[in-house]
């Protein structure tokens, strides 16, 4: 495994309004899935707008290790010549998924019903995250996993030689677990069904249908069940990846923090399973418009136009919205510090097992920047100071977490004193062009 890179401290300071167009990168969730489903199809899938962040590049490398031919033909343009469902070859070496929980969990699902053995690892953040949430349902198919204590990486997965289909109800709202089960179900005979009580992002279902898998959705009071018929022949597709609403959240939030800002973010996914952050902004009184709504590559997209208007109100974010904005809580917490009054975020225990314990990372960082808050096991309340703003003037530990890093750099653009993060390196996992893109809008960052 390569040695961890030296930390790259970065300071953000207030320097006037942000203005212009922010072309954020392709959606991370869709990018992982396009590579994996492309590898499981027979023939050549063409992907445009792929996120070329480290997380996704690690998944591309993994698909090569499992036998697919994955090539970059231009910026964001990739082809994947797939090996077909059940056609994965046994990797010759350990699969390193870097920082990516989505990568490792989806790939484990995709190989779990093929009789091969693979060993997975990742960076220090990924090695601290629980894998039992995917290996438990994968065991029901007949796969066996051996990992470190607490179900942690490195971990070896032995794919089932004679997989059986599975019916599984998700114990946590997790698109990664749902997707792992569906991908495993691809090579099991018969019908695999997965039920979720709260809707999580649905890119896997959408894309499976696009690749020609047979699936149906059953809605019932106890939840939404996706029923997949196993052993289809997946047909290669042209996948146009929409821009990532989770990445768009950073320039959008920064524009709402910095007085005088006006920013346009074109072509952002408006998938309803991903838009909780934007619904929350509207409730807080943000000046945000969703223009030119259209369908691109099977996903609803729109051009976002956001203006700083001041006067954001603190609100209560309902717990049943958590799954639709799980990655946006860090930047929402930063933004809430500039709103008038208290913003209460409940039902966010999952943040404790993301790339870092995001609840704790945000609470400690915000406190260091002079923000009053209350942290619960499953909640965070941020007391916004309104026009008085945020003191800043702190150095914040990002804990190998790209979203913590970007959240505090955004906050530093509007705080009274500069904010330094101890490491900007992790930003490359999801948003490699974040620093130049924000600088293009007028942000001031310095190493
Ligand atoms: C993702 C699902 C979410 C999210 C992650 C991407 C996905 O994780 O936090 O960034 O692409 O399926 P969970 O499944 O753990 O909620």
Predicted confidence (pLDDT) at residue 337 exceeds the cutoff of 70: yes
With cut-offs at 50, 70 and 90, classify the pLDDT of residue 43: very high
Which atom of ligand 1 is least distant from the CA of 327? 9
Predicted confidence (pLDDT) at residue 342 exceeds the cutoff of 70: yes
With cut-offs at 50, 70 and 90, classify the pLDDT of residue 113: very high
CA of 273 to the centre of ligand 1 (A): 11
- Give residue 286's pLDDT: 98
- Give residue 155's pLDDT: 98
Domain 28-231 class in CATH: alpha beta
Which atom of ligand 1 is least distant from the CA of 353? 15
CATH number of 10-26+243-446: 3.65.10.10
The residue-averaged pLDDT of 218-232 equals 96
CA of 54 to the centre of ligand 1 (A): 16
- Give residue 73's pLDDT: 98
Q: Which of 58, 327, 401, 423 is catalytic?
A: 327
- Give residue 326's pLDDT: 98
With cut-offs at 50, 70 and 90, classify the pLDDT of residue 298: confident
CB of 324 closer than 6 A to ligand 1?
no
- Give residue 2's pLDDT: 60
Which atom of ligand 1 is least distant from the CA of 32? 11
Predicted confidence (pLDDT) at residue 133 exceeds the cutoff of 70: yes
Distance CA 33, CA 52 (A): 14
Annotated domain spans of the chain: 10-26+243-446, 28-231
pLDDT for 403-430, tens place per residue? 999 999 999 999 999 999 999 999 999 9
Report the residue among 29, 109, 125 best suited for mutation to probe ligand 1: largest number of ligand atoms under 8 A from its CB.
29
The residue-averaged pLDDT of 184-192 equals 98
CA of 354 to the centre of ligand 1 (A): 9
pLDDT for 243-268, tens place per residue? 999 999 999 999 999 999 999 999 99
Asked if 403 contacts 355 with a C-beta cutoff of 8 angstroms, the reply is yes
Tell me, yes or no, if 327 is annotated catalytic: yes
Report the residue among 326, 331, 332 best suited for mutation to probe ligand 1: largest number of ligand atoms under 8 A from its CB.
326
CA of 102 to the centre of ligand 1 (A): 6
Predicted confidence (pLDDT) at residue 276 exceeds the cutoff of 60: yes
- Give residue 297's pLDDT: 74
- Give residue 321's pLDDT: 97
Predicted confidence (pLDDT) at residue 158 exceeds the cutoff of 90: yes
Which atom of ligand 1 is least distant from the CA of 200? 16
With cut-offs at 50, 70 and 90, classify the pLDDT of residue 3: low
- Give residue 1's pLDDT: 52
Domains 10-26+243-446 and 28-231 belong to one CATH topology: yes
CB of 31 closer than 6 A to ligand 1?
no
The residue-averaged pLDDT of 161-174 equals 97
Predicted confidence (pLDDT) at residue 51 exceeds the cutoff of 70: yes
- Give residue 15's pLDDT: 87
């Amino acid at each position: 495994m390569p040695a961890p890179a030296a930390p790259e401290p970065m300071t953000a300071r207030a320097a006037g309004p942000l203005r212009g167009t922010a072309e954020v990168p392709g959606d991370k969730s869709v990018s992982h899935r396009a590579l994996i489903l492309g590898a499981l199809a027979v023939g050549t899938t063409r992907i445009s707008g792929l996120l070329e962040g480290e997380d996704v590049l690690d998944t591309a490398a993994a698909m090569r290790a499992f036998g697919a031919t994955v090539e970059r033909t231009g910026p964001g343009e990739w082809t994947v010549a797939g090996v077909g469902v059940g056609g994965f070859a046994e990797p010759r070496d350990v699969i390193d998924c870097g920082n990516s929980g989505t990568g490792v969990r989806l790939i484990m699902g995709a190989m779990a019903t093929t009789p091969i053995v693979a060993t997975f690892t990742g960076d220090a953040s990924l090695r601290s995250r629980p894998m039992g949430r995917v290996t438990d349902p994968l065991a029901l198919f007949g796969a066996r996993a051996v990992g470190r204590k607490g179900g942690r990486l490195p971990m070896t997965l032995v794919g089932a030689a004679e997989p059986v289909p599975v019916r599984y109800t998700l114990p946590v709202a997790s698109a990664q677990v749902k997707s792992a089960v569906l991908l495993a179900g691809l090579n099991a005979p018969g019908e695999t069904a997965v039920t979720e009580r709260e809707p999580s992002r649905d890119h896997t279902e959408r894309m499976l249908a696009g690749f020609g898998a047979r699936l149906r959705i059953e809605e019932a009071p106890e939840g939404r069940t996706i029923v997949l018929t196993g052993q289809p022949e997946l047909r290669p597709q042209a996948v146009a990846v929409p821009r990532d609403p989770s990445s768009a959240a950073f320039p959008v939030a920064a524009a709402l923090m910095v007085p005088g800002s006006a920013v346009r973010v074109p072509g952002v996914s408006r998938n309803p399973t991903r838009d909780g952050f934007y619904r929350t902004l509207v409730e807080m009184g943000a000046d945000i418009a969703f223009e030119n709504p259209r369908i691109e590559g099977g996903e609803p997209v729109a051009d976002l136009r956001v203006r700083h208007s001041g006067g954001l109100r603190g609100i209560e974010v309902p717990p049943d919205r958590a799954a639709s904005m799980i990655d946006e809580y860090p930047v929402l917490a930063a933004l809430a510090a500039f709103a008038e009054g208290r913003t209460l975020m409940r039902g966010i225990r999952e943040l404790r097992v993301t790339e870092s314990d995001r609840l704790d990372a945000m609470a400690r960082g915000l406190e260091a920047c002079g923000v009053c808050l209350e942290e619960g096991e499953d909640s965070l309340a941020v007391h916004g100071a309104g026009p008085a703003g945020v003191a800043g003037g702190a150095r914040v530990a990002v804990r190998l977490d790209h979203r913590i890093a970007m959240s505090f750099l955004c906050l530093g653009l509007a705080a009274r004193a500069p904010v330094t993060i101890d490491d900007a390196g992790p930003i490359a996992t999801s948003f490699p062009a974040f620093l130049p893109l924000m600088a293009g809008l007028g942000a001031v960052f310095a190493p």
